Structure 1
Amino acid sequence: MLGANDGIISTAGLVVGVAGATPHREALLVAGVAGTLAGALSMAAGEYVSVSTQRDTERAAIARERRELSDDPEGELEELAEMYRSRGLSDRLSREVARELTEHDALRAHVEVELGLDGYRANPWQAAFASMFSFLLGALIPLAAILFGPEAWRLPVTVVAVLVATGLLGAVSARTGGAPAPRAAIRCVVGGSFAMAVTYLTGTLLGAAAGM
């Protein structure tokens, strides 16, 4: 949902800013489509790099843990037991748990307890396409409103559509995570309003300065 929210607000800010400078539909179309594609590709590239880097870091940490288990198995066993002691288990129980987990799968025990990894690693390509797709879906809302709304009401229609969409998205995201929905919705609406106000003012000033 974060990608969709980015798509809504960034595209809305762009087209509203351009609308502040010029009312021509052609300019809005070019700016909106170009901004949408640039934003979607940027989201995809950023997510791919982020997930790839995280996966490489996790692989390196697992490889290091494997070497440490091979070089000093007793030391690693004591380290695992110490982690359970730090969580409140008695010394005897900590050693028993550490030993049984080590006998079952030493590497997995250390990866899960010491490194905090659960064995699941996201696919960079899947993450990239998911981010790009969600951004595109979000961007369609302000883009459609500004391009197909009645010319006299183009800007108000876009603002209302964006604020309703961001508010609903914030509420749904909060409800999904068990957080208060009204607070999240208000936060998203305020953020979207601020972004559009700033870009509209900027577009108006630059348009006037350029004689558009």
Structure 2
Amino acid sequence: MSDLVLGAIDGCITTFAIVSGAFGAGFPPLVVLVMGVANLLADGVSMAVSNYEAVSAQRRFAEHARRTEEQHIRVVPEGEREEIRQIFANKGFSGENLEHIVDTVTADRTLWIDTMLSEEYGLSLVDPNPLASAWWTFVAFVVVGLIPLLPFFYAGDNFAQKFTISTALAGLVFFSIGLLKGWVFQTSLVRAGFGTFLLGSGAAGIAFAVGTILQQAFGVA
């Protein structure tokens, strides 16, 4: 889910920033369409590759940590057993309950290692899939990022009208993604929606300002 949200937000911000910057600079709609689609595909691939590398690195770290804990349990089992005792003692367990937990955890080698990875390293026990993360990041980036460009696929040179429609679509996308984030992480839906909306609006505003300044400074049109 985090891959979808990340890709969707970046995709919409990327393309709508291009729309805003081009509108501020006074470029024709065709330029927006060409720049938007080109950046959408190139940045989508870049995002997917970056996420693939990040998840792969995370997986390699988890595998290294697992091998390390396996070696520690094999070489110094009592030291690792004491670590389990300390972990659950810090959670408020004591006496016979604590010893029962320690005996139960250390009786199962897999459970023992998983507990150490989760509690000591803070690692998720769900094995990440780099290819799946890259794929869903790319799909979300391209599909959602395409939405602000939709008005520019239709004939006509009325940039102001196309920009208005694109702005409405982008605003709806930002707010919807925020709602999705709020639902997934069980936070305030309205706050999450408006937070993402403001994030996207701020990025688009910067792009619009840059386009306007450059147009006035260099007469780009």
Tell me which residue corresponds to 1:161. Answer: 169
The farther-off stretch of 149-158 and 41-50 is 149-158
Q: How many Å separate the matches in 2 of 1:14 and 1:194?
A: 13
Tell me which residue corresponds to 1:203. Answer: 211
CA pair 22-14 structure 1, distance change in 2 beyond 3 A: same
CA pair 71-17 structure 1, distance change in 2 beyond 3 A: same
Unmatched tracts of structure 2, length 5 or more: none
- Is contact 1:15–1:146 with CA below 8 Å preserved after alignment? no
Alpha-carbon distance, 1:95 to partner: 2.4
Query: What pairs with 1:61-140 in structure 2 (closer than 5 Å)?
Result: 61-105=65-109, 106-140=112-146
Unmatched tracts of structure 1, length 5 or more: none
Q: How many Å separate the matches in 2 of 1:176 and 1:99?
A: 36
**Paired residues, number:** 212
Q: Percent identity?
A: 28
- Is contact 2:178–2:192 with CA below 8 Å preserved after alignment? yes
- Is contact 1:142–1:161 with CA below 8 Å preserved after alignment? yes
Note the aligned Cα RMSD (angstroms): 1.9
CA pair 160-185 structure 1, distance change in 2 beyond 3 A: same
Among candidates 21, 26, 32, match of residue 17 of structure 1: 21
Alpha-carbon distance, 1:118 to partner: 4.8
- Is contact 2:28–2:157 with CA below 8 Å preserved after alignment? no
TM-score (structure 2 length as normaliser): 0.87
1:40 aligns with 2:48: no
Deviation per residue, 1:21-55 (Å, 9 max, x gap): 23323311221012101221121011111111111
TM-score (structure 1 length as normaliser): 0.90
Deviation per residue, 1:31-82 (Å, 9 max, x gap): 1012101221121011111111111111111111111111111121122112
Q: How many Å separate the matches in 1 of 2:21 and 2:30?
A: 14
Tell me which residue corresponds to 2:31. Answer: 27
SS at match of 2:108: helix
